[in-house]
Amino acid sequence: MEAETTSRRRVVRLLYHMTSILLYNVWQPANLLLAKKMGRPPAKPLLKVKTLTAWFRTLTQTRPKKPG
């Protein structure tokens, strides 16, 4: 699955690209750590990209709670 944009703004396309790189760079070590903790060889990803993407979406779209 690849994200697509029809935006002509270079900044928007760059933001999407950098976000995908960030997700990939978090996903790889997370899979290695999870495999090590579970005592399995890191042959297949244990953490699915869809799961990580859903977590990231929730994290970025949640509004901070107001104090009080």
Q: In angstroms, how far apart are the furthest CA atoms of the chain? A: 48
Question: Can you tell me whether residue 66 is helix, strand or coil?
Answer: coil
Residue 58: predicted pLDDT: 85
Q: What pLDDT, on a 0 to 100 scale, did the predictor assign at position 5?
A: 67
**Separation in Å, CA 38 to CA 26, 27, 32:** 18, 16, 10
The pLDDT tens digits of the residues spanning 32-66 come to 998 999 898 888 888 887 887 788 788 878 776 77
- Higher-confidence residue: 11 or 47? 11
Note the helical H segments in the chain.
10-38, 49-61
**Is residue 1 predicted with pLDDT exceeding 60?**
no
Instruction: Label residue 12 by pLDDT band (50, 70, 90).
Output: confident
